[in-house]
């Protein structure tokens, strides 16, 4: 955020939108604006904790830092968030009053994988704005809370039977492998020449004052804005289009194939996204849309005009898809290892390339389809243009034209 200069320095670009580069701190801002939980995966000492600490400066006393430890139990966690009275047997009403008083906006959990599962589950609940006590959920704060967690779990992300990996995929909306976007030599020269204290300084407070109000204003703006239709089509392609599979001429979906994917796709050409990636869930699609909206806000803040932002809707969605999708469990890990040198981001780039081709080819048909609906027509000639992975668009346009006739 322009108003806050954090300690973390990293000028390695993660993405580009309309010529505006996005860095690691922009991603943290985007997640805060979109209220998306962020997991910073990376090696020890790579700066993830400092990055999270910088985010805490936005909220100052309304942020909480928790260090993940395997000897921490839920009692200690509740003590940390001033809920120790819970252990003394309180009524539901008292409980509600207590939880209402918790007004943390940002929870930062350093080394989250060190926490035991019961504590981890409560931490995820805090990120999502509630706490679970005796099977009942109680909202905390006043509607905005978000979490940033750090950790280094490496390969465990790829083990489908791993509880931690699964929990992270379920509850963290965006995961960034910070090792992939390490600070460059310019940054490290600067960092090392000004400060040789290897610890993150939690005593130093930001001089800018709390930026909570600004973050919440941006968040409210982002969530209240109408989602551009172009982005909705992209999101639906990621949900339905990427689910489509053609097995020896038989059309089916990866969802129906269940565990048979990707092995059932035999002899398919190398590089095809049918065997490389699963479709995204509706929940992940929401995260992608939200993150893309936040990217657009930041791009505008960096100087893009409304028209330029509009021209980049597709790119914005693809970048959001890349960072929501890479560690969400949608990639075929074997293919990523064998074809992409275990680089999930490269694999996502390949899927994005194919998606771009798909949209380049189908955008004129889609625009014709939209016009067809607006004119109250239902043209077989137009609808028949959509087949295979674009069947979803045919279904939508058919339904929309029927609705318009009513």
Tokens of 147: 């979490």
Please identify which residue in 26, 111, 273, 296 interacts with another protein, judged by CB under 8 A: 273
Q: Looking at residue 141, what DSSP letter applies?
A: T
Q: Tell me: does residue 270 bind another protein (CB under 8 A).
A: yes
Between residues 92 and 246, which has the closer beta carbon with respect to another protein? 246
Q: Tell me: does residue 267 bind another protein (CB under 8 A).
A: yes
What's the longest Cα–Cα distance across the chain?
70
Between residues 140 and 245, which has the closer beta carbon with respect to another protein? 245
Q: Tell me: does residue 193 bind another protein (CB under 8 A).
A: no
Binders of another protein among 219-248, rule CB under 8 A?
229-230, 233, 246-248
> How many binding residues for another protein (CB under 8 A)?
55
Stretch that binds another protein, among 90-98, 179-187, 191-199, 261-269 (CB under 8 A): 261-269
Binders of another protein among 353-372, rule CB under 8 A?
353-354, 356-361, 363-372
Q: Decide: residue 259, CB within 10 A, 0-12 exposed, 13-18 middle, 19+ buried.
A: exposed
- Residue-wise DSSP of 197-256: --S--SSPPPTT---HHHHHHHHHHHHHSPPPHHHHHHHHHHHTGGGEEEETTEEEEHHH
Binders of another protein among 138-157, rule CB under 8 A?
none
Between residues 322 and 385, which has the closer beta carbon with respect to another protein? 385
Q: CB of 373: closest distance to another protein in angstroms?
A: 5
Between residues 132 and 349, which has the closer beta carbon with respect to another protein? 349
Q: Tell me: does residue 12 bind another protein (CB under 8 A).
A: no
- Residue-wise DSSP of 271-331: T-TTTTBPPPPHHHHHHHHHHHHHHHHHHHHTT--HHHHHHTHHHHHHHHHHHHHTTTT-B
CB 295 within 8 A of CB 316: yes
Please identify which residue in 207, 269, 306, 307 interacts with another protein, judged by CB under 8 A: 269
Q: CB of 182: closest distance to another protein in angstroms?
A: 19
Binders of another protein among 325-354, rule CB under 8 A?
338-341, 346, 349-350, 353-354
Q: CB of 381: closest distance to another protein in angstroms?
A: 6
Per the document, the length of the chain is: 406
Residue 52: C-alpha distances to residues 32, 140, 215, 271 (Å)? 11, 21, 15, 37
Task: Tell me which H or E stretch contains 139.
Answer: strand 136-139
Between residues 255 and 346, which has the closer beta carbon with respect to another protein? 346
Q: CB of 368: closest distance to another protein in angstroms?
A: 4
Question: Count of H helices and E strands in the chain?
Answer: 17, 11
Q: CB of 214: closest distance to another protein in angstroms?
A: 31
Nearest to 36 by CA among 227, 220, 291, 366: 291
Between residues 39 and 314, which has the closer beta carbon with respect to another protein? 314
Q: CB of 359: closest distance to another protein in angstroms?
A: 7
Between residues 115 and 355, which has the closer beta carbon with respect to another protein? 355
User: What's the number of CA atoms in the CB half-sphere (13 Å) around residue 286?
Assistant: 9
User: From CA 379, how far away is CA 387, in angstroms rounded?
Assistant: 15
Nearest to 314 by CA among 394, 218, 224, 238: 238
Q: Tell me: does residue 55 bind another protein (CB under 8 A).
A: no
User: Which residue ranges make up the site for another protein (CB under 8 A)?
Assistant: 229-230, 233, 246-249, 265-273, 311, 314, 338-341, 346, 349-350, 353-354, 356-361, 363-375, 379, 381-382, 385, 387-388, 400, 403-404
């Amino acid at each position: 955020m322009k108003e806050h200069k954090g300690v973390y320095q990293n000028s390695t670009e993660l993405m580009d939108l309309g010529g505006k580069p996005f860095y690691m701190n922009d991603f943290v801002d985007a997640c805060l604006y979109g209220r998306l939980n962020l997991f910073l995966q990376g090696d020890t000492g790579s700066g993830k904790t400092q990055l999270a600490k910088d985010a805490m400066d936005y909220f100052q006393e309304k942020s909480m830092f928790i260090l993940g430890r395997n000897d921490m139990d839920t009692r200690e966690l509740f003590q940390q968030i001033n809920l120790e009275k819970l252990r003394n047997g309180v009524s539901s009403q008292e409980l509600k009053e207590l939880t209402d008083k918790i007004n943390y906006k940002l929870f930062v959990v350093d080394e989250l994988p060190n926490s035991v599962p019961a504590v981890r589950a409560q931490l995820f609940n805090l990120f999502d704005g509630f706490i679970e006590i005796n099977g009942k959920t109680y909202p905390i704060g006043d509607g905005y809370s978000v979490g940033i967690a750090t950790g280094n779990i490496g390969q465990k992300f790829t083990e489908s039977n791993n509880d931690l990996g699964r929990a992270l995929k379920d509850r963290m909306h965006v995961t960034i492998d910070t090792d992939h976007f390490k600070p460059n030599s310019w940054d490290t020269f600067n960092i090392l020449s000004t400060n040789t204290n290897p610890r993150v300084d939690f005593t130093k407070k930001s001089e800018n004052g709390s930026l909570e109000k600004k973050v919440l204003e941006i968040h409210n703006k982002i969530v209240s804005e109408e989602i551009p239709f172009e982005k909705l089509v992209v999101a639906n392609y990621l949900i339905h289009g990427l689910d489509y599979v053609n097995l020896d001429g038989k059309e089916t979906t990866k969802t129906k194939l269940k565990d048979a994917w990707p092995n059932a796709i035999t002899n398919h050409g190398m590089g095809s996204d049918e065997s490389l990636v699963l479709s995204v869930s509706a929940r992940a699609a929401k995260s992608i849309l939200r993150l893309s909206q936040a990217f657009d806000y930041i791009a505008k803040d960096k100087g893009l005009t409304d028209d330029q932002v509009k021209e980049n809707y597709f790119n914005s969605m693809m970048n959001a898809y890349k960072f929501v999708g890479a560690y969400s469990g949608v990639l075929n890990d074997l293919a990523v290892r064998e074809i992409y040198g275990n680089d999930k981001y490269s694999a996502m780039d390949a899927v994005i390339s194919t998606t771009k081709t798909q949209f380049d080819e189908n955008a004129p048909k889609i625009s014709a389809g939209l016009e067809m609906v607006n004119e109250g027509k239902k043209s077989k000639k137009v609808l028949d243009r959509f087949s295979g992975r674009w069947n979803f668009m045919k279904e939508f346009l058919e339904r929309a034209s029927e609705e318009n006739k009513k």
